[in-house]
Amino acid sequence: MARGDGEEGGHCKRGRGAGDCKDNDDGENGPDKRCRVAAGSTCDDGEAGDDGTGDYNISGDETDGDGDGNDEDLIYYYSDDDEEAEVGASTIRCDDKRYVVLSEDDVHDRQAKDTAEVAEVLSVPPGFAAVLLRHYKWGKMRLKEEWFSDDRRIRDAVGLPADGIPVPMARSRRELVCGICFGRFSPGEMRSAGCSHYYCDECWRGYIHAAVDEGPRCLSLRCPNPACAAAVVRELVDAVADGADKDRYARFALGSYVDESGGRIKWCPGPGCTHAVEFVGCAGDDATDVLCRCRHGFCWSCGEEAHRPVSCATVRAWLSKNNSDSASAIWVLVNTKHCPKCRRPIEKNQGCNNMTCRAPCGHRFCWICLEPLGVGHTTCHAYRPRLDNVVVAGGNGVPAEEQRRQQAKASLDRYLYHYERWAANHRSLQQVLKDMAALDRSELGKMADTVRASATDLRFLTRAYEQIAGCRRVLRWAYAYGYFLDPVRDAAKRRLFDHLQSDANRSLERLHGCAERERKQLCAVAKCASSADIAGRYRSYKKKLENLTEVTQRYFENLVKAFETDLAEVKPAK
């Protein structure tokens, strides 16, 4: 998805003249308007001329596909809301941005700020404040309200002492006996968790090490005495644990700010990503896509990869379909026939039609007519109605087994059609993400040197790739939506779906081709061109890619809205 830091491109005005708009009353496309954008159309930035969306000629001239220099009129569909669209916002925008991406440092700073605030307000040490906040899932307001209502009850519930000393040392003048190793130690070598049970530093170190090995549960560690519920706080861990255990404990403590936030903050599930996402709006009950800084998109509601415009329920059904054995069972039904004697499914993998079933059956029969092979098998290719195993209810004289096979084949073909396109867009998305990573690493810098532009000026290229990635996600999951349209009941929706998908693919491929193929052409020509020539070509390419990005963004936003409303403009079948 494109981020909101881009420049504002040109919005085409509606009106008479070179670019006119009219209502589209052809039924299936709903209440959208149809705008014919021609060469010389007026744009918001006050410039007249090409809209930048024609085919780009690497010579620096913009021509139509025939190369005659005359721009062919381009038709784009948009709704009245398009004029409110913000250029450079999220690729598939929500009504407002409802989440914030946090780095590990951001999470650490927020955690430290919340802990310090609670420690100051409640007049407790930071270690105590952290224990209290974890108990209340880092909800500061509820903690404060209940603390000032009955602080003694809260202390007892979380195991905090009343005197407010996080790591009390023994004050006796004589040696004390460690409750674990039973060794004698001076009072300065004995510590407790705020209770009356003192242990030597070495035993504390081993006790904490064993707890840290068990994972985040170490954050709820209590006094080694089984009868004592005193909490082991961060100050005690820092005082006695070795370096590795202190680091691991700190990682668990940092993670608790996200993991125990009650779902308000979540870690990005992207491979190797350490960012977290805080949701600051109303999540709702259905799909809410989130795009992390690592460019991994995921759904806030279900945790799967970003899947607008389809619902979480549709995603679950589709993934279940992909992971189930039903597809294999359908393939067996379509591509095999049953032995007429033992009913075992048989796949024909050679050219001969004379089949022999495996032992112990051994039945020999004809693949075409399923009749036994023998001297009398001479009428295989002559039409002869079969009266056995016929579907009487249908009245069409088709054998029941053959009808089931035909239905299964149609079902498999429909599934494979949608699955292949779903998978193809996923592969394209992965390639786009690799290309974006390459741009970040070195390609943008190389292009900046080649076309003699600044890296900042090349942000339009990054936005275009982010737009492409977002559109690939939409197209991918739109095919899952299409699969669950009933071929008969939703026939009208299916026709509109196919039309919208086809237009969306064309729009996206045009943008993708400009961002990828024409960029490489520009860089190749720029290596041996003059400075003035390079500048002209670069400006032309930049204008075209920015306009294509904007047009594609608007189209896909309307596409998402159409699918999310279940193509509401199509009247339900009677």
Closest to 522 measured CA to CA, from 437, 448, 457, 451: 451
User: Phi, psi at residue 35, to the nearest 5°?
Assistant: -110, 125
CA–CA separation, 13 vs 19, rounded Å?
8
**Token digits for 518?**
């024409």
Q: What domains can be seen in the chain, in order of their start residue?
A: 100-259 (3.30.40.10), 406-564 (1.20.120.1750)
Q: pTM of the full predicted structure?
A: 0.64
Closest to 314 measured CA to CA, from 537, 523, 571, 566: 566
**Maximum CA extent, the chain:** 113
Helix axes 126-135, 151-158, angle to 10 degrees: 90
Contacts of 332 (CB under 8 A, 6+ apart): 345
Q: Using CB atoms within 10 A of its CB, is residue 152 exposed (0-12), middle (13-18) or buried (19+)?
A: exposed
Show pLDDT as tens, one digit a residue, over the chain (574 residues). 444 343 333 333 333 333 344 444 444 344 343 333 333 333 333 333 334 444 333 333 443 444 343 333 333 333 333 333 333 333 333 445 588 999 999 999 999 999 999 999 999 989 999 999 999 999 999 999 999 999 899 998 998 887 666 666 656 677 888 989 999 988 778 888 888 889 999 999 999 999 999 999 999 999 999 999 999 999 999 999 999 999 999 999 999 999 988 888 999 998 889 999 998 765 454 558 888 988 888 998 888 889 988 889 999 999 888 877 556 655 665 567 888 888 788 877 665 667 888 888 888 888 767 778 776 665 554 444 444 444 444 445 567 777 777 787 788 788 888 888 888 888 889 989 999 988 888 888 888 888 888 888 899 999 999 999 999 999 999 999 999 988 888 888 888 888 888 888 888 989 999 998 898 888 888 888 888 888 889 999 999 999 999 999 999 988 888 888 888 877 765 5
CA 525 to chain centre: 37
Q: Alpha helix (H) ranges present in 439-530?
A: 444-451, 459-483, 491-513, 519-526
What letter does residue 86 receive in the DSSP assignment?
A: P
3-class SS at 450?
helix
Closest to 309 measured CA to CA, from 2, 52, 566, 43: 566
CA–CA separation, 81 vs 560, rounded Å?
14
Q: Are residues 230 and 194 in contact, defined by beta-carbon separation less than 8 angstroms? A: yes
Q: Are residues 355 and 365 in contact, defined by beta-carbon separation less than 8 angstroms? A: yes
3-class SS at 546?
helix
Q: Which residue's entry shows tokens 């054998």?
A: 399
CA–CA separation, 311 vs 328, rounded Å?
26
Residue 352 bears catalytic tag: yes
Please compute Rg for the chain using Cα positions: 34
Active-site entry in 181, 218, 282, 352: 352
Indicate the residue type of 4. Answer: G
Q: Using CB atoms within 10 A of its CB, is residue 249 exposed (0-12), middle (13-18) or buried (19+)?
A: buried
